[in-house]
Amino acid sequence: MAATEESAAALLQDVMASMKVRPDDDEDEEEVTKEWGSVEVDAEETDAAVKKVQEKEAGGVKEEVDDGDGGGTVDLPEMALKSEKLNEEVESPDTEIKKVLATDTPYTSAKSFEDLNLTEPLLKGLYTEMKFERPSRIQAETLPMILSPPYANLIAQAHNGSGKTTCFVLGMLGRVDANLNAPQALCVCPTRELAIQNEEVLLKMAKYTGITCACTAGADDRVSASRRGKITDQVVIGTPGTLKRWMSKDRILDARRMKILVFDEADHMLATEGFQDDSMRIMSMIARQSPNYQILLFSATFSERVKAFARNSVPRANEVFVPKEDLSLDVIKQYRVRCPSSQGRLDVLRNNIFPLAEKLGQSIIFVRTRENASFLHTSLQQDGHRCTSIQGGMSHEERDRVIREYRSGETKILISTDVLARGFDQAQVTLVVNYDIPVKMGTWEPDYELYLHRIGRSGRFGRKGAAFNLVCDRKGEEMLNKIEDHFDRRMDEVKYDDEDAFERVLKEAGLA
DNA sequence: AAAAAAT
């Protein structure tokens, strides 16, 4: 066993060397084995647990295969070699994507949507409704994996705003049978807003297909399950708590025909306490009735700890990863704003940032607590500034209204907790303000993933963007230093008492 | 601390 592991490790080294993978992947490897055992799934009842145990039993073999033994793994060194040519053809940023295949199945990246054997109505939706011409880089790589046999599981990571949603939405639409009135695809999202957003994209793309969708956050989300009746829509999208209840207690969501399960913001869904149990339960309930279903995990971020956990929760998955160094979004200019005090921070927001933001496209101000969101909102409004705020304590109707106004452009500045940190896609967002630096719970460690997600709300699909990070004490200062180190990017400072500094800097970022 | 959603 030890020998096997060692030779597998050696092999992995070779493969990585040939792929010019960054050296820090090594330390990741260590962290992986150390960390993942600490994440627990309540073992007694779930089939997922059973499935997992089986995976572990097959562990000797599996590790070997997954980690680079010739048997199953086809690392694609030719990807690296051909990348310049590919880039020309697929018109993508020069990102070096790392693919690890779990089976012998060869995949050719899709140069056009025609390569994917999609139905005519679906293609029509892509071209006329979505106005897509050809697959983006991440779409070109993942869609063949999703849509062709053996319909392998997939763990995929790609930039914010690079078209991940299309990958899994098209994946679901491509796999379901429009003529069968039973749920066949399920998409789990961390927030109500994201579920709605994904549903909207799906319905738009599905316009000519006859495929319908049920969403836990629909207008009728107060309707009791018994009144609603069995779900016959081909696709179901929602938040984990309600989805779980629909499948178990309410019994209106039948998993017998389920072909594909998607986790959007998958690192969050699998690793965050509160989400994890529900996610595992959903997986096990589907596995019981449709053992051969396909699982897709999508996120812009997978910390090494979570990546290891994901690999164990979703066995034999193909992997498509973007190296960490390429993820820090060079298109988004990031700045440090040192504020004299906590009160001074509000002044900086009010006097320096708001007047500019009102002239810009749209902005999101992120804060750490619900209270802070409401407080900032009222206090800025009292000063005559137009803005809205959103946080999980508000009613569904209120949240929907705020989002609707923001989407329509009626409001330009939105103050938000981390409800909107992930996935929220609004092309006009050019400026993100971190009023608080995101922190990992119970520590004074910055939450790097969350930071990346937050600033990724701007600069959607290659557009320009800027982020102001407000710090007003040593803790904030230290955390921002750590963020700089982690992404290996220095941030310029914007002096709060320099009248024109903010405007100058936004010009520099290509915004003003 | 916040997130979903239930109690």
Segment A34-52 mean pLDDT: 32
Name the pairing type of β-strands A332-338 and A465-471.
parallel
User: In 3-state terms, what secondary structure has residue A362?
Assistant: strand
A177 φψ region: left (φ > 0), alpha (ψ -120 to 50), beta (else): beta
State whether the beta carbon of A217 lies below 7 angstroms from any atom of strand B: yes
User: In 3-state terms, what secondary structure has residue A4?
Assistant: helix
Distance, Å, A265 CA → B5 C1': 18
| Covered bases, chain B (protein CB within 7 Å) | 1-6
Distance, Å, A81 CA → B7 C1': 57
Q: Residue A498 — pLDDT band, cuts 50, 70, 90?
A: confident
Q: Which nucleotide is nearest to A371 (CA to C1')?
A: B1
Find tokens 């400072």 and name the residue.
A493
Distance CA A267, CA A260 (A): 18
Residue length, chain A?
512
- Give the per-residue pLDDT at A21: 29
Q: Residue A406 — pLDDT band, cuts 50, 70, 90?
A: very high
pLDDT at A89 over 60: no
- Give the per-residue pLDDT at A1: 32
State whether the beta carbon of A368 lies below 7 angstroms from any atom of strand B: yes
- Look at A138-152, A416-430, A495-509 and tell me which has the smallest mean pLDDT: A495-509
Distance CA A253, CA A248 (A): 8
- Give the per-residue pLDDT at A459: 84
Distance, Å, A190 CA → B4 C1': 7
Nearest residue to A432 via CA among A409, A458, A460, A407: A458
User: In 3-state terms, what secondary structure has residue A391?
Assistant: coil
Segment A226-234 mean pLDDT: 89
Q: Which DSSP symbol is given to A126? A: I
Distance, Å, A197 CA → B3 C1': 17
Burial level of A452, CB count in 10 A (0-12/13-18/19+)? buried
State whether the beta carbon of A313 lies below 7 angstroms from any atom of strand B: no
For chain A, which domains are there?
A: 98-323 (3.40.50.300), 332-509 (3.40.50.300)
- Give the per-residue pLDDT at A159: 83
Q: Which nucleotide is nearest to A242 (CA to C1')?
A: B5
* Each residue's pLDDT tens digit, A183-213: 999 999 999 999 999 999 999 999 999 999 9
% of chain A with per-residue pLDDT over 90: 65
Q: How many helices (H) and strands (E) does chain A have?
A: 21, 15
% of chain A with per-residue pLDDT over 70: 80
- Look at A163-167, A259-263, A340-344 and tell me which has the smallest mean pLDDT: A340-344
Distance, Å, A244 CA → B6 C1': 11
As a whole number of Å, the CA-based R_g of chain A is 23
State whether the beta carbon of A272 lies below 7 angstroms from any atom of strand B: yes
Which strands form A235-238's sheet, in the order they lie side by side?
A98-100, A317-321, A153-157, A294-299, A260-264, A185-188, A235-238, A213-215
- Residue type (1 letter), A59: G
Among all protein residues, pick the one whose CA is nearest to the C1' atom of B5.
A241
Distance, Å, A272 CA → B6 C1': 17
- Look at A59-68, A95-104, A198-207, A340-349 and tell me which has the smallest mean pLDDT: A59-68
Q: Which DSSP symbol is given to A353? A: I
State whether the beta carbon of A445 lies below 7 angstroms from any atom of strand B: no
Which residue did the predictor score with more confidence, A90 or A300? A300
Distance, Å, A450 CA → B1 C1': 13
Segment A333-352 mean pLDDT: 92
A9 φψ region: left (φ > 0), alpha (ψ -120 to 50), beta (else): alpha
- Give the per-residue pLDDT at A327: 64
Pair A414, A362: CB distance under 8 Å: yes
Q: Which DSSP symbol is given to A223? A: S
Distance, Å, A174 CA → B7 C1': 39
- Give the per-residue pLDDT at A74: 29
Using the Cα atoms of residue A125, residue A127, residue A129 and residue A135 in order, give the sign of their dihedral. Answer: positive
| A233: its two tokens | 């829509």
**What b-and-e string marks burial along A216-231, b requiring 16 or more CB atoms within 10 Å of the CB?**
bbbeeeeeebeeeeeb
pLDDT at A267 over 70: yes
- Give the per-residue pLDDT at A83: 29
Q: Residue A44 — pLDDT band, cuts 50, 70, 90?
A: very low
pLDDT at A473 over 50: yes
Within 10 angstroms of residue A471's Cβ, the number of other Cβ atoms is: 21
Q: Residue A54 — pLDDT band, cuts 50, 70, 90?
A: very low
- Give the per-residue pLDDT at A433: 96
- Residue type (1 letter), A45: E
State whether the beta carbon of A392 lies below 7 angstroms from any atom of strand B: yes
Chain A residues 409 to 428 whose Cβ lies within 7 Å of strand B are 417-419
Distance, Å, A19 CA → B7 C1': 52
Nearest residue to A431 via CA among A355, A346, A317: A355
**What b-and-e string marks burial along A320-333, b requiring 16 or more CB atoms within 10 Å of the CB?**
bbbbbeebbbebbb
- Give the per-residue pLDDT at A95: 57
Distance CA A318, CA A71 (A): 14
Burial level of A39, CB count in 10 A (0-12/13-18/19+)? middle
Segment A119-137 mean pLDDT: 96
Average pLDDT of chain A, as a whole number = 81
User: In 3-state terms, what secondary structure has residue A434?
Assistant: strand
- Look at A9-13, A317-321, A440-444, A471-475 and tell me which has the smallest mean pLDDT: A9-13
Which residue did the predictor score with more confidence, A42 or A262? A262
Segment A35-63 mean pLDDT: 32
List Cβ neighbours of A64 (8 Å cut-off, separation of 6 or more). Answer: A4, A8, A71
Pair A406, A428: CB distance under 8 Å: no
State whether the beta carbon of A228 lies below 7 angstroms from any atom of strand B: no
- Look at A112-126, A174-188, A212-226, A241-255 and tell me which has the smallest mean pLDDT: A212-226
State whether the beta carbon of A146 lies below 7 angstroms from any atom of strand B: no
Segment A466-478 mean pLDDT: 93
pLDDT at A82 over 60: no
- Look at A32-36, A267-271, A505-509 and tell me which has the smallest mean pLDDT: A32-36
Segment A236-251 mean pLDDT: 93
pLDDT at A46 over 50: no
